[in-house]
Chain A
Amino acid sequence: MKAIVNISLKAGVLDSQGKAVHHALDSLHFDGVKDVRVGKQIILQLDETDKQKAMSEVTTMCEELLANTVIEDYDIELV
């Protein structure tokens, strides 16, 4: 099973990279962009075949290492 973990700064935490990308898009005349947030994606290949167990394990990974929950939110997708 594959777990796709998306990590981004929490809403309310200023994302300076997102802001810089937004400025760059503006200067390229992509005027319809309201907001840009830059995050990261971590893809894990798992031995686990049980979805529930995999979800619980990846959640622990996020809490302990993959995300810093002081500033970041994470989202897990199992495929």
Chain B
Amino acid sequence: MKVTILQFPGTNCEYDTKYAFEKLGATTEILWHKSEEVPQDTDLLVVAGGFSYGDYLRSGAIAKFSPVMKAVKTYANDGGMVLGICNGFQVLTEAGLLPGALKRNEGLHFISKHHHLSVQNNDNIFLKKLECGDVVNIPIAHHDGNYYIDEESLKELEANNQILLKYTDKDGNIQNPNGSVESIAGVCNKEKNVFGLMPHPERAMEVLLGSNDGVKMLQGFFE
């Protein structure tokens, strides 16, 4: 299993992501955004979290024009697995690889804490090792995590089982920290090979650090 991790100027979660996937047994490569191709042996491409280009203009808006993004689009359109975490999720929505957009948090504050999430759909490679309704405890750390999608597209997401995770309390009852439509924390594309979420599973790999629920999530990408 080879995981390629994208790095833009301002990315800061690439080493956590590398640690997480290596702990699960993968080999990893950090790929600078100037690269014009995705390594051929890549089994999973991760757009890591951080603040690409300082979040200038809008989070993810400038990163989408980095040279590597053309290759990422081709890789995704050919069925390659792509996972965007936090800023990575913002980049993928800006690039049009995932539906919707991420707005400023409703309370206007940067939120950094553990939050519970409930699994909405598991008929995809990412969450296949979890059951629908399972609750995981994963850190969130974002200013622009307020997921927006118009009503019509929301219906499509629901009909195609594209909603991955919702923010909840520890019992799985909806608890919305940032104003996201339907409390949505993560979605995938219709083809179910491009995934995006605001929470950080790669920061939930050790019980000592508060939670290892990220292990069950990221393990989904392994056979």
Contact = CB atoms under 8 A, between A and B. Distances in A.
Interface stretch (B15-23, B39-47, B104-112): B104-112
B43 to A, nearest CB: 30
B61 interface: yes
A41 interface: no
Interface of B is mostly: loop
B6 to A, nearest CB: 19
A25 interface: no
A65 B104 contact: no
A16 B146 CA distance: 10
Contacts of B146: 16
B57 A16 contact: no
Interface residues of B, number: 20
Contacts of A16: 103-108, 146, 179
B14 interface: no
B65 interface: yes
Contacts of B107: 16
A39 B179 CA distance: 19
A65 B57 contact: yes
A29 B93 CA distance: 40
Interface in B91-128: 93-94, 100-101, 103-108
A46 interface: no
A68 B108 contact: no
Given A14-B179, A16-B179, A68 B104 contact: no
A17 B106 contact: no
B58 interface: yes
Interface string B71-103: 000000000000000000000011000001101
Interface of A: 9, 13-14, 16-17, 20, 65-66, 68, 70-71
Interface of B: 57-58, 61-62, 65, 93-94, 100-101, 103-108, 146, 148-150, 179
Top 4 nearest A-B pairs by Cβ distance?
A: A70-B101, A71-B101, A16-B106, A71-B148
Given A16-B146, A65-B65, 19 more contacts: A9-B103, A13-B103, A14-B179, A16-B103, A16-B104, A16-B105, A16-B107, A16-B108, A17-B108, A65-B57, A65-B61, A65-B62, A66-B57, A68-B61, A70-B101, A70-B149, A70-B150, A71-B101, A71-B148
